[in-house]
Structure 1
Amino acid sequence: MKEKIKRKNLSILFGILVDSQHYSEYYAMTLKKCMANYVIPFMEKMGYDYYDLKVGEEFFSTYGMRNKHFTITSRRTVLLLKFYIEEIEYKRQPDKTEYQFPGQIGELSKQFIELYCKTNRSSYKTKKKFMIVLSRFSNAMKIRDVKLTEISHDTILEYISSLQNTCQYVYSPLRSFLLHLYANGHISVNLSLTLSGLSEKKGNSLPSVYYSDEIQRIESSVKRDAPVGKRDYAILLLADRLGLRRGDIVNLTMDNIDWERCSISFYQQKTGRHNELPLLEDVGQAILDYYLNGRPKTDIENIFVTANSPVNVLAPGTVSYIVGKIIRESGVVIGNRRHSTHSMRHSLATKLMENNTDISIISGVLGHESEEPTMYYLGVSVKLLGECSHDVPPVSNDFYNQKGGFFYE
C-alpha cells in the first residue's frame, strides 16, 4: 500500500495514470478535468493536503451522484487512484454481457451475425445491435416452443407486436436474418417480406449544413500556432473540403497521398470501396505543416495521433469531438444543427450541388455506391428546391363563391 498523495502532486500523477490506460484523447481530457475542476477544489475546500482512500470515498459520496455522466467519470477517477494506492493493476473492463442463442435458430443467428458483419465490415456497435436483437428473438422462439420450420408470418407479427416501444430497432436485423434463412434454404417462405416497408427511422430529418460564409469563419477560428491547432486544422479541412468520414481520417497514412499527382486515395472504412480525390493545395499544406512542425515523434504510421504521451492513433470519436469543438468555439450560431465531421460532409455535398456539379461527381467525391444517397442533399438547398417549384394555377371566383360562399363563412 502506497502512502498518501500530496495534493500538489495529485494532478501530475493522475495524468500519468490516465495516459497509461490509452483512453481516447477526449475521454482522457474528461477524466483530467474531473480531477482539476472537482477533486482538487474539493480537497482545498475541505482543507485536505493529502489524498487517500477515505478522501476519495468522501468526494464520491458528496459529488458522485450529480448525474449519470458525472457518476461514471468520478467513479473512474476515484478507482484509478484507489488501484494506484493499493498497488493493484487497473484493467479496463470489457463488455461482460453474455448473449444466449438457444436451439437451431440461435445457432443460425450466431453464424449469420459473423457472416454479415464480416461481409459488410460492420462496426462493433452494429454487431452488438444484431446480437441483442437476434439473441432476444431466438430466446423468444424457444420460450414459445417454435421450431425453425414452424416460423410463419403470424409468428413474426406476434413477436413484433409483443415488443411494444422497442420494436423499431429490431426491423433491420431481423429482416436481414429472415432473408438469409430463406436465401440459404433454411425456411421455404421469404418471411422477411413480413417486415417489408417497416423502418427504424422516425422521420426524414434533413442533414445539418453550414454554408460558405460559416465554413470560412469556422476555418479561420482555428489557432494554428500550436501543434494541436495544426493537427485540428488539417482534420477540419479533410472533413469540410474533401468530405472524409472520421474513420477514414484516422486511418490516413502518408502512403495514401501522392504528392506528385496531388491526389489522396484510400479504402473507405464504412464501405470498403476505393476512393481517390484531388488533394487541394490548402489541405496538403495543412497536413504537411502538422506532420513536419506539430506531430510528436512516433513510429505510428497514421498521420493523426494524440498530442499527449503515450502517443496513440486518434479514435474516430475524438475526431468528431475535435471538429465539433472547433465549430462551437468559432462563434457560428449552431441552433438545432449538428456539429461534427458528418455536418462538414453534408455541407460539402450541398455546396457542390448549388454550384451545379454533376450528381455523379458528387457521388464519387462522397464515395457513395450509387447516386440515390446523394439525392438526399437536394432537400437542404432552398436554391435548388426553388428551381423545382411550380406556379400555383389560378382558381376562379366561382369556386370560392359556390354554395353561397362557403369558404368565406
Structure 2
Amino acid sequence: MKREQKLQELISELGVHLKSLSYQRATQLKYQRGWQLLNDFMVKNSIEFYNSQVGEKFISSIMKNRPYEKLCRKEKDLIRIANVTSEFQATGVIKFRSISKKYNFDGEIGKIILTYLEHLKLRGFAAKTLESKKIYLLRFLDHLKANNILSLNRIESQHILQFINNLGIYSKATIHNMFSTLRGFLKYLYQNEIVLIDFSYVIPKSSYKKERKLPTTYTKDEIKRLLKSVDRANPKGKRDYAMMLLAARLGLRASDICRLKFENINWKKNMIRIKQTKTARTVELPLLTEVGNAIIDYLKFGRPESELQYIFICINQPYDKLKEPTLHSIVTFYLNKAKISNLHKKKHGPHALRHSLACSLLEQKTPLPVISEVLGHSSTESTKTYLRIDLDSLRQCSLEVPDLNSPYYIQEVN
C-alpha cells in the first residue's frame, strides 16, 4: 500500500532535504511555488493526503493530453517537482541528476598523477581527501599543458613558480592544501627516481592554520523536547527516534548510523561494535536500554521486510539503505517541530547531537580520554575542542580583574 501523508508535512521534510543538499536559493523558491500550486490542486479536488497517485493526477492536469515536448519550461518544472516529491516520499532521498565531472589525466604526466593517487589510496588515504588532491593536481596538469609542458623531464622550477603565482584567486585554506598536495607529488617523483631534481623545495611553506569553530550544542532540555516531538506510533517515527537516540546517547556519526548492520549489535552482551567510516577505527559502545528498546521497537513494528543487512532503511519501496543527507533532514525536521529557539543560528544535523553528548559528558566531569573513547576519536587532541564550550569549568579558571586604581596598574605604568 502506498503511504499517504499530509502535503505540508511532506514538503517540510523535503524542503529541509533540498537545503541540506545545497540546492540554490532560487531552486528552493521554485519548489515552494510548485508546491503551492500542488496544494491548490489538492484543495480544489478535496484531496486530504498526498501519495504518488495524487502526483500523477496533478501531472495529468498540467499536460492535458499534450506531448511533453510541447510543454513550456514552467510546466516541465512543475512535473519535475511532482515527481521529486513522490520520489522523496517513497524513498526518503533524491537521486542526483547532475552529470559527474570527468577528469582528463591524459599524456605522460597525467598517467603519473593517476599512479601517484593510486599510491596514496593504497596508503589508506580517505576517498574525500583523494578527490581533493585529484582536483588540485588536475589544475597543475592543466597549467603545464597550457605552457606546452607535456613531459616530466621538461618541468623546471619556473613552471612551478608560475603556477603558484596564479593561486591568488583561491582562499588561504585552498592554497595551503594545494601547496601540500603539490609538495607531496613532487617528492614522490624524486624519491621514485622519476625525475632527477627534487622540486618540492620550490613550494613555499604555508603559515595557514585552520581555526576550529565552536561546536553547536543543545541543552538536555532541548534534546528531550526533540525526542519527545517524534510520533512513535508510526513506522517512520519508530525509525527516526531510534536513529536520533544513537546520535544523542552514543554520539555515533551519521555515516555510522546509516551503515549500522545487524552484525554490529551483540544483543547478548548489550554491545555495539562498529568500524567507523571516518577513522576506520573499531569502537565498542554499550547498548543502552533506552537505545536497545527503540531499535527493537523499530525492528518488530516499523521496519519493512527486507533482506538488506542495514538496520535503517527507507519506509517505502525500494527499501534502500538510508543516506546521510536524509538523516540530516530528519533531525532538522524534528528540531523545527520541537520549536527549538534560535535554530537558524545553529547547525542542526545529527553531528550537533554528537556535540551535545560531549558537552553533557564534560558537565558531568567525565575525563577527556573517556569522552574521546566514547566519540571514537583517534586521539584526545580532537576532543580538546569541546573544552571551549565547557563554560562552568572555564569560569573556574578565570582570574579576578583588579580595579583601575589598584597598585597593580600603578606598578605597570611605572
Bin of the TM-score, shorter chain as denominator length: 0.7 to 0.9
What's the CA shift for 1:116?
A: 3.0
Q: Which of the numbers 161, 165, 171 marks the counterpart of 2:176?
A: 171
Calculate the aligned-residue CA RMSD, in Å.
4.0
Asked if 2 retains the 8 angstrom alpha-carbon contact of 1:60 and 1:75, the reply is no
> Which residue does 2:22 correspond to in 1?
none
Asked if 1 retains the 8 angstrom alpha-carbon contact of 2:258 and 2:312, the reply is yes
Q: Which of the numbers 375, 379, 390 marks the counterpart of 1:370?
A: 379
Asked if 2 retains the 8 angstrom alpha-carbon contact of 1:121 and 1:270, the reply is no
**Residue 176 of structure 2 aligns to which amino acid in structure 1?**
Y
Moved more, 387-396 or 145-154: 145-154
Note the residue ranges of structure 2 that are not aligned, 5 or more in a row: 5-13, 19-27, 46-57, 85-94
Asked if 1 retains the 8 angstrom alpha-carbon contact of 2:186 and 2:199, the reply is no
Q: What is the CA–CA distance in structure 2 between the aligned matches of 1:352 and 1:279, rounded to whole Å?
A: 17
Q: Give 3-state SS (helix, strand or coil) of 2:377's partner.
A: coil
Q: What is the CA–CA distance in structure 2 between the aligned matches of 1:353 and 1:211, rounded to whole Å?
A: 13
Q: Which of the numbers 121, 130, 134 marks the counterpart of 2:133?
A: 130
Q: Give 3-state SS (helix, strand or coil) of 1:62's partner.
A: helix
Quick one: structure 1 residues 53 and 352, their matched pair in 2 at CA, closer, same or farther if it must change by over 3 Å? farther
Residue pairs, 1:150-299, within 5 angstroms: 156=160, 158-167=162-171, 168-182=173-187, 184-185=191-192, 188=198, 190-191=200-201, 194-199=204-209, 201=210, 203-299=211-307
> Which residue does 2:146 correspond to in 1?
143
CA distances 1:160-213 after superposition (whole Å, capped 9, x unpaired): 3413332432532551342244154455254496243335x4x54211111111
> Which residue does 2:92 correspond to in 1?
none
What's the CA shift for 1:301?
A: 0.8
> Which residue does 1:353 correspond to in 2?
362
Asked if 2 retains the 8 angstrom alpha-carbon contact of 1:363 and 1:370, the reply is yes
Asked if 2 retains the 8 angstrom alpha-carbon contact of 1:105 and 1:138, the reply is yes
Q: What is the CA–CA distance in structure 2 between the aligned matches of 1:391 and 1:157, rounded to whole Å?
A: 52
> Which residue does 2:120 correspond to in 1?
116
> Which residue does 1:106 correspond to in 2?
110
Q: Give 3-state SS (helix, strand or coil) of 1:270's partner.
A: coil
Q: How high is the TM-score relative to the length of structure 1?
A: 0.74
Q: Give 3-state SS (helix, strand or coil) of 1:162's partner.
A: helix
Q: What is the CA–CA distance in structure 1 between the aligned matches of 2:155 and 2:402, rounded to whole Å?
A: 54
Asked if 1 retains the 8 angstrom alpha-carbon contact of 2:239 and 2:298, the reply is yes
Quick one: structure 1 residues 264 and 397, their matched pair in 2 at CA, closer, same or farther if it must change by over 3 Å? closer
Moved more, 125-134 or 287-296: 125-134
Q: What is the CA–CA distance in structure 1 between the aligned matches of 2:104 and 2:126, rounded to whole Å?
A: 21
Q: Give 3-state SS (helix, strand or coil) of 1:194's partner.
A: coil
Q: What is the CA–CA distance in structure 2 between the aligned matches of 1:192 and 1:238, rounded to whole Å?
A: 48
Asked if 1 retains the 8 angstrom alpha-carbon contact of 2:252 and 2:354, the reply is yes
Quick one: structure 1 residues 156 and 256, their matched pair in 2 at CA, closer, same or farther if it must change by over 3 Å? same
Equivalent residue pairs, number: 359
Quick one: structure 1 residues 121 and 262, their matched pair in 2 at CA, closer, same or farther if it must change by over 3 Å? farther
Quick one: structure 1 residues 96 and 235, their matched pair in 2 at CA, closer, same or farther if it must change by over 3 Å? closer
Quick one: structure 1 residues 156 and 338, their matched pair in 2 at CA, closer, same or farther if it must change by over 3 Å? farther
Q: Which of the numbers 35, 48, 63 marks the counterpart of 1:51?
A: 63
> Which residue does 1:4 correspond to in 2?
none
Quick one: structure 1 residues 388 and 37, their matched pair in 2 at CA, closer, same or farther if it must change by over 3 Å? same
CA distances 1:87-120 after superposition (whole Å, capped 9, x unpaired): xxxx975734222235544333222333334544
Q: What is the CA–CA distance in structure 1 between the aligned matches of 2:72 and 2:121, rounded to whole Å?
A: 40
Quick one: structure 1 residues 304 and 26, their matched pair in 2 at CA, closer, same or farther if it must change by over 3 Å? farther
Q: What is the CA–CA distance in structure 2 between the aligned matches of 1:309 and 1:280, rounded to whole Å?
A: 31
What's the CA shift for 1:381?
A: 2.2
**Residue 197 of structure 1 aligns to which amino acid in structure 2?**
S
Asked if 2 retains the 8 angstrom alpha-carbon contact of 1:176 and 1:192, the reply is no
Q: What is the CA–CA distance in structure 1 between the aligned matches of 2:70 and 2:174, rounded to whole Å?
A: 41
Quick one: structure 1 residues 383 and 397, their matched pair in 2 at CA, closer, same or farther if it must change by over 3 Å? closer
Asked if 2 retains the 8 angstrom alpha-carbon contact of 1:134 and 1:174, the reply is no
Asked if 1 retains the 8 angstrom alpha-carbon contact of 2:110 and 2:141, the reply is yes
Quick one: structure 1 residues 54 and 116, their matched pair in 2 at CA, closer, same or farther if it must change by over 3 Å? farther
Q: State yes or no: 1:389 paired with 2:401.
A: no
Q: Which of the numbers 36, 57, 61 marks the counterpart of 2:73?
A: 61
> Which residue does 2:351 correspond to in 1?
342
Quick one: structure 1 residues 92 and 229, their matched pair in 2 at CA, closer, same or farther if it must change by over 3 Å? closer
What's the CA shift for 1:144?
A: 3.4
Asked if 1 retains the 8 angstrom alpha-carbon contact of 2:212 and 2:385, the reply is no
Q: What is the CA–CA distance in structure 1 between the aligned matches of 2:203 and 2:372, rounded to whole Å?
A: 30
**Residue 73 of structure 2 aligns to which amino acid in structure 1?**
S
Q: What is the CA–CA distance in structure 1 between the aligned matches of 2:100 and 2:152, rounded to whole Å?
A: 29
Moved more, 133-142 or 175-184: 175-184
**Residue 291 of structure 2 aligns to which amino acid in structure 1?**
V
What's the CA shift for 1:137?
A: 1.1
Question: Greater RCO between the two (CA within 8 Å, min separation 6)?
Answer: 2
Q: Which of the numbers 92, 99, 106 marks the counterpart of 1:95?
A: 99
Quick one: structure 1 residues 105 and 291, their matched pair in 2 at CA, closer, same or farther if it must change by over 3 Å? same
Q: What is the CA–CA distance in structure 1 between the aligned matches of 2:67 and 2:390, rounded to whole Å?
A: 56
What's the CA shift for 1:374?
A: 0.5
Q: Give 3-state SS (helix, strand or coil) of 1:276's partner.
A: strand
What's the CA shift for 1:232?
A: 0.1
Q: Give 3-state SS (helix, strand or coil) of 1:163's partner.
A: helix
What's the CA shift for 1:282?
A: 0.4
Quick one: structure 1 residues 118 and 384, their matched pair in 2 at CA, closer, same or farther if it must change by over 3 Å? farther
Q: How high is the TM-score relative to the length of structure 2?
A: 0.73
